[in-house]
Amino acid sequence: MKLYDGGKIIVGLAVFLAFALFPFYNNIGKVNAKPEPKTDTPVIQEWEKQYGKKECVESKEFMRMEHMQLLNNWRDSVVRETYRQYVSTSNGKKFNMSLQTGCMNCHSNKKKFCDECHNYMAVVPYCWDCHIQPKEKEENKS
């Protein structure tokens, strides 16, 4: 078997592989920082003091998996059915169904709470095109 223009082909292949594999060898040894959403806002700490533990509208595991679906259901309840209060199935407490004045009232750290995972997973929810995000103090510091 004879390889015509072998030199060029091999050089070409080497260059191609160098480009194509760049993302892989560039990241060898670097561990991607795992997202660590923070729940240490003043309101949540106040809650922890009052009730002895941190708790959300549902269990942590449920919220991790299903918060998007829960938010969709909340939206339908508020806009289409005019219900405003959500009765938690995990702790029986009542919560105001509202992204801006409910969720973000406790989780006022959008950057360290929402964006931390969303950026890691490269998901871009369009919540904040309309809903007004909380003003964060870190913005001024950095």
Partner 1 sequence: MSMDRRQFLKIAGISSILGFGATAVSSAKSPVFETLAPPQVEPGKDALIAKRWAMVVDMSKFKTEEDIKKVVDACHHTHNVPDFRNPDGTADTKFEIKWIWKEPYERAFPGAENTYMGEHLKDMPFVVLCNHCENPPCVRVCPTKATFKLTNGITMQDMHRCIGCRFCMAACPYGSRSFNWVDPRKTLKPEFENKDYPTRTKGVVEKCTFCSERLQAGKIPACVEAAPKGAMFFGDIEDQNSEVRKIVTTQLTIRRRPELGTGPAVYYIIGGSEHA
Give the residue with the Cβ less far from partner 1, 91 or 96. 96
Q: Which residues bind partner 1 (CB under 8 A)?
A: 66, 69-70, 73-87, 89, 94, 96-97, 100-101, 126, 129-132
Give the residue with the Cβ less far from partner 1, 14 or 63. 63
The distance of closest approach from Cβ of residue 129 to partner 1 in the complex, given in angstroms and rounded to an integer, is 4
Give the residue with the Cβ less far from partner 1, 49 or 137. 137
The distance of closest approach from Cβ of residue 43 to partner 1 in the complex, given in angstroms and rounded to an integer, is 15
Contact 91, 59 (CB under 8 A): no
The distance of closest approach from Cβ of residue 23 to partner 1 in the complex, given in angstroms and rounded to an integer, is 34
The distance of closest approach from Cβ of residue 54 to partner 1 in the complex, given in angstroms and rounded to an integer, is 22
The distance of closest approach from Cβ of residue 115 to partner 1 in the complex, given in angstroms and rounded to an integer, is 19
| Distance, CA of 117 to CA of 96 (rounded, Å) | 24
3-class SS at 44? helix
Give the residue with the Cβ less far from partner 1, 84 or 111. 84
| Distance, CA of 54 to CA of 128 (rounded, Å) | 26
| Distance, CA of 2 to CA of 75 (rounded, Å) | 68
Contact 37, 118 (CB under 8 A): no
54: nearest Cα among 68, 32, 71, 37: 37
Give the residue with the Cβ less far from partner 1, 25 or 126. 126
| Distance, CA of 58 to CA of 64 (rounded, Å) | 10
